[in-house]
């Protein structure tokens, strides 16, 4: 089993732009870990269109279930998108 390829992480993008590596909000703190949990504290600018969270494995083609848990001090709505 390739443990490096199975490491998990996530990217956060503004929802109103094409998700590219140039617009990743958490690019300075993006990390991949070989565990089943990862956390990061982000301070967002209040983009009126919201944000897109992309769960990811380190290596392409790896699949598995992801669970997202968010906490914030403001109201928010979480929507799911099918890949």
The overall pTM is greater than 0.85 = no
Could you state, in order of their start, the residue ranges of all structural domains in the chain? 15-40+54-64
Sequential DSSP letters for 14-81? ETTS---GGG-TTTTT---BSSS-----------TT-EEEEEEESSTT-----------SS-------
* pLDDT in the model for residue 82: 64
Are 55 and 66 within 8 A, CB to CB?
yes
The closest alpha carbon to 55, from 7, 22, 4, 15, belongs to 7
pLDDT digits (tens, 9 = 90+) for 17-73: 998 989 999 988 788 888 888 888 888 888 889 999 988 888 998 877 778 888 888
Distance of CA 11 to the CA centre of its chain: 3
Per-residue confidence at 14, pLDDT binned at 50, 70, 90?
very high
């Amino acid at each position: 089993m390739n443990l490096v390829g199975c490491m998990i992480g996530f990217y956060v993008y503004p929802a109103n732009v094409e998700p590219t590596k140039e617009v990743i909000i958490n690019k300075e703190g993006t990390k991949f870990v070989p565990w089943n949990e990862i956390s990061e504290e982000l301070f967002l600018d209040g983009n009126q269109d919201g944000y897109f969270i992309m769960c990811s494995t380190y290596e392409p083609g790896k699949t598995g279930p992801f669970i997202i848990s968010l906490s914030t001090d403001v109201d928010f709505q979480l929507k799911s998108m099918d890949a």
